[in-house]
Structure 1
Amino acid sequence: MTTLDPGPGPELKPRLPDRRAWPLLLALALGGVLIYLLRPILMPFLTGALLAYLADPLADRLERLRLNRTFAVIVVFTGLSLVGVGALLLLLPMLGSQLDSLRSLLPQVVDWVHQVGLPWLRTHAGVGIESLDLATLRGAIAEHWQSTSSFAASVVAQATSSGLALAGLLANLALIPVVTFYLLRDWDVLIARIRDLLPRRMEPIISTLAGECNEVVAAFLRGQLLVMLALGVIYAFGLWLLGLDLALLVGMLAGIASIVPYLGFIVGIGSAALATVFQFSDWLMPLGLVCGVFLVGQLLESLLLTPLLVGDRIGLHPVAVIFAVLAGGQLFGFSGILLALPIAAIIMVLLRHAHDRYLRSSLYGEPRVGGEQQDSEY
């Protein structure tokens, strides 16, 4: 039985990368270099863009009520400005008094460590820290932790000593509301123009990815910021009801630290317990009530705040959050901190799609039958 020789098949040539993509990649690389070089002046623009992004849904809602876009932006901008200024006027005096209380508390903490903490460690754990010069530490605290009024005066004196630096600081602060207003007014127009500039062949996939990135970033920024604010208010109000002198300071610290899951609870309950022990002579009952405040706050966060305000759309690991903030601050300073978490969320979405494509590729293994796509769980 003879077999037919099929002969040589069609020659398979390796697929070369599309050369039309190189100009786009080059433009992205040059844009990244330009942003890095201009990082000293980016702070007001990035802050304004972030505020405009956060406030855009409010302006869109007012537009759906048949308000003109400019008038809707004026209403949103005025309301947010009044809330911000009112919060500063209300909180700054309270924070000043609590910082003075903290200044008077720190030497007591150092004395307790010297008289009680170190002897207990030496007796029960056999650990001695003779090299720790607590007297010098106490003197440094007394010297550098001045009252808030003198501290503010020294900051103003240092700022006014350089007229150019003061002018630059005031210009940056004045630019933030201006940039925020104009970006908020033209936000939808800018997004539409960017979409029109995309290559038509790539526009559908880029729009899909951009929509997912927007969902994740919005959930994290708007949702997580609201969770942090709510937790700060809950902790501060609960500690204030208990009569803790540093209630507002500890509550704000715990709320800010809540950007990393469970870190706000750990930092808050630790600092509140320390402040309670040194404020109350009979501290056992107040300490139990402080723990109750933070347990209530943690339950509200897990059962109500996070599911309602954030949902399960973020997926950023706590270690990734910490690394993103530190890396952004190291590379770009305060501007990098503003951009760190949005960029980390966008990278997470892109990596998720790259992971799915890799699982469906021949590089990973045999292609799935029928090209079925299964979402990976993270």
Structure 2
Amino acid sequence: MVATARRLPPMTPRVALLATAAAIGGSVLYAGREALGPFIVGLLIVYLLAPPIERLARLGLPRPLAILIVYAAAVFLVVEGLNLMLRPLVDQIRQFASDLPGLVDQLREQLERLGAVYRGLELPPAIRDAVDEWLAKLAAGDIGFDPAVILPVLRATTGFVGTIFAFLIVPVWAFYLLKDRPSLVRSFQASIPPEWRADIDAVIAIVARVFGSWVRGQVLLGLSVGIATFAGLLALGTFVDPIFSRFAVLLAVIAGVLELLPIIGPIIAAVPAILIAATAGVEAAGAAFLLYLAIQQVENNVLVPKIQGDATDLHPSAVMLALVVGGAVAGLLGAILALPITAAARDVYRHLFARLSVPVDAGAADPSVAAADPPPAPAVPPDSQVSPAPETTAASSDGGPSAGSDPGPEVPPQAR
């Protein structure tokens, strides 16, 4: 006897039409992926603002009024937060821009000191020639500048202006999504065949769970790493060199923002800190390296398991592959979203794999499948159903009633 796991609903013409429409829509979105960045930010706004708006709507407020109230509160919090953070950040950016020529001169002096050490090393001729050529270019201020880079810069500037315009319309676009969210959800559910709705809802719930966990985790990780970097730089500014304190806010913001890029983000964030510290000496550069290394170890071994949990738990090799593929497909935005997309695809695959039809031996059936779908009891014809017989006493060996038993009243033959 063979038991079968629950089957996915059959492919009907309506489902085939929906799948074709989804494929065409995905192709169109892929073709215009370079313009999707602001709208992805808009979806993030919708995701973050939907819960308080739903609470206010349940209290009886008109939905447009609830959206305006939440919008006003969000704008107030963002403006106040930026006011508190941007003032010292802008001051440090200005200070860094004014100090940059002096920092470059100090860095060259440190490189000359290291050059004296380098000249005392015995290196293979090929390596020494390559390093000497690079140092000569560095001393001359020629690091391979190509005038052809101007055209990409102009193209990037034009794209930046278009992106700014797109970001200006995103709040309006998000407003209409929030206002009509219930009707949009109903229309989407009505377009799905009833036999597929449970699976579609399960897939949407999986994707929402993964992306929700990722968004909350990235915000907490960014804040945690930024605060830890700021505190560590202040400590180094007190005990090692004051240059760490001069740019603590700027470097901490860079470290927090680059948490959006797993694995490579912290490495990129450490580079400017180490270069700035190198202007004060090799010891300061080593201290900066150790600080960022310690923060990354605490993040990987303590913060990420506690904050992200299993929702985006991917092997480092899978993370690096996803980053490379995402960056190749959609640039920086693809690299940022590569982790949640990969994790969501993994969980959706697991769900669909469990729902596929798999013959299972009844003797070794999966307990979860057996518990989910117990085999039906055999049908009994109505005319063969009998009522439970009343309890009787054991008969004696000669066929008569046993001793002490009451035979009861005799039943007439016609009633038997």
Indicate whether the TM-score tops 0.5: yes
Q: Which amino acid aligns with 1:130?
A: D
Q: Tell me the SS of whatever aligns to 2:256.
A: helix
Q: Report the Cα distance in structure 2 between the residues aligned to 1:196 and 1:38, rounded to whole angstroms.
A: 28
Correspondence for 1:361? 358
Correspondence for 1:349? 347
Residues 316 and 345 in structure 1, CA contact (< 8 A), matched pair in contact too:
yes
Residues 316 and 348 in structure 1, CA contact (< 8 A), matched pair in contact too:
no
Q: Report the Cα distance in structure 2 between the residues aligned to 1:172 and 1:290, rounded to whole angstroms.
A: 39
Q: Which amino acid aligns with 1:172?
A: A
- In structure 2, relative to structure 1, the CA distance for the partners of 1:224 and 1:121 (3 Å cut) is farther
Q: Report the Cα distance in structure 1 between the residues aligned to 2:281 and 2:228, rounded to whole angstroms.
A: 22
Q: 1:134 Cα deviation (Å)?
A: 2.4
Q: 1:207 Cα deviation (Å)?
A: 0.8
Correspondence for 2:198? 204
- In structure 2, relative to structure 1, the CA distance for the partners of 1:110 and 1:268 (3 Å cut) is same
State the Cα deviation string for residues 99-132 of structure 1 (Å, max 9, x = none).
5545643454455345415843861665743223
Q: Tell me the SS of whatever aligns to 2:195.
A: coil
Q: Which amino acid aligns with 1:248?
A: V
Correspondence for 1:5? none
Q: Report the Cα distance in structure 1 between the residues aligned to 2:216 and 2:38, rounded to whole angstroms.
A: 20
Correspondence for 1:183? 177
Residues 73 and 181 in structure 1, CA contact (< 8 A), matched pair in contact too:
yes
State the Cα deviation string for residues 122-181 of structure 1 (Å, max 9, x = none).
61665743223224245147999xxxxxxxxx9xx969x97xx78744421311222233
Matching residue within 30, 35, 49 for 1:36: 30
Q: Report the Cα distance in structure 2 between the residues aligned to 1:105 and 1:166, rounded to whole angstroms.
A: 30
Alignment of 1:124-203 (within 5 A): 128-131=127-130, 132-137=133-138, 139-140=141-142, 168-203=162-197
Residues 98 and 249 in structure 1, CA contact (< 8 A), matched pair in contact too:
no
- In structure 2, relative to structure 1, the CA distance for the partners of 1:40 and 1:61 (3 Å cut) is same
Correspondence for 1:278? 279
Q: Report the Cα distance in structure 2 between the residues aligned to 1:169 and 1:270, rounded to whole angstroms.
A: 28
- In structure 2, relative to structure 1, the CA distance for the partners of 1:307 and 1:330 (3 Å cut) is closer
Q: Which moved more, 1:272-281 or 1:169-178?
A: 272-281
- In structure 2, relative to structure 1, the CA distance for the partners of 1:316 and 1:64 (3 Å cut) is farther
- In structure 2, relative to structure 1, the CA distance for the partners of 1:19 and 1:200 (3 Å cut) is closer
Q: State the identity as a percent.
A: 27
Q: Report the Cα distance in structure 2 between the residues aligned to 1:96 and 1:308, rounded to whole angstroms.
A: 37
- In structure 2, relative to structure 1, the CA distance for the partners of 1:61 and 1:302 (3 Å cut) is farther
Q: Which amino acid aligns with 2:212?
A: A
Q: Which amino acid aligns with 1:186?
A: D
Q: Which amino acid aligns with 2:135?
A: L
Q: Which moved more, 1:318-327 or 1:194-203?
A: 318-327
Give the gaps of 5 or more residues in structure 1. 1-16, 145-153
Q: 1:214 Cα deviation (Å)?
A: 0.9
Q: Report the Cα distance in structure 1 between the residues aligned to 2:319 and 2:196, rounded to whole angstroms.
A: 30
Residues 110 and 134 in structure 1, CA contact (< 8 A), matched pair in contact too:
no
Correspondence for 1:258? 259
State the Cα deviation string for residues 227-267 of structure 1 (Å, max 9, x = none).
12331233124313543133233323332343455655555
- In structure 2, relative to structure 1, the CA distance for the partners of 1:233 and 1:62 (3 Å cut) is farther
Q: Which amino acid aligns with 1:42?
A: L
- In structure 2, relative to structure 1, the CA distance for the partners of 1:301 and 1:345 (3 Å cut) is closer
- In structure 2, relative to structure 1, the CA distance for the partners of 1:367 and 1:137 (3 Å cut) is farther
Q: 1:220 Cα deviation (Å)?
A: 0.7
Q: 1:33 Cα deviation (Å)?
A: 1.7
Q: Which amino acid aligns with 2:367?
A: E
Matching residue within 14, 19, 23 for 1:25: 19
Alignment of 1:63-142 (within 5 A): 63=57, 67-86=61-80, 87=82, 89-90=86-87, 91-101=89-99, 104-106=102-104, 108-113=106-111, 115-116=113-114, 119-120=117-118, 123=121, 128-131=127-130, 132-137=133-138, 139-140=141-142
Name which structure has the greater RCO, CA cutoff 8 Å, separation 6+: 2
Residues 312 and 339 in structure 2, CA contact (< 8 A), matched pair in contact too:
no
Q: Report the Cα distance in structure 2 between the residues aligned to 1:69 and 1:253, rounded to whole angstroms.
A: 38
Q: 1:350 Cα deviation (Å)?
A: 1.5
Q: Which amino acid aligns with 1:372?
A: P
Residues 259 and 265 in structure 2, CA contact (< 8 A), matched pair in contact too:
yes
Matching residue within 353, 370, 374 for 2:365: 370
Q: Report the Cα distance in structure 2 between the residues aligned to 1:52 and 1:232, rounded to whole angstroms.
A: 26
Residues 269 and 291 in structure 1, CA contact (< 8 A), matched pair in contact too:
no
- In structure 2, relative to structure 1, the CA distance for the partners of 1:167 and 1:225 (3 Å cut) is closer
- In structure 2, relative to structure 1, the CA distance for the partners of 1:336 and 1:258 (3 Å cut) is closer
Correspondence for 2:43? 49
Residues 239 and 293 in structure 1, CA contact (< 8 A), matched pair in contact too:
no
Q: Tell me the SS of whatever aligns to 1:123.
A: coil
Residues 257 and 264 in structure 1, CA contact (< 8 A), matched pair in contact too:
yes
> Higher Cα Rg: structure 1 or 2?
2
Give the gaps of 5 or more residues in structure 2. 1-9, 238-243, 370-416
Q: Which amino acid aligns with 2:329?
A: L
TM-score by length of 1: 0.70
Q: How many residues align?
A: 340
Q: Tell me the SS of whatever aligns to 1:201.
A: helix
Residues 223 and 309 in structure 1, CA contact (< 8 A), matched pair in contact too:
yes
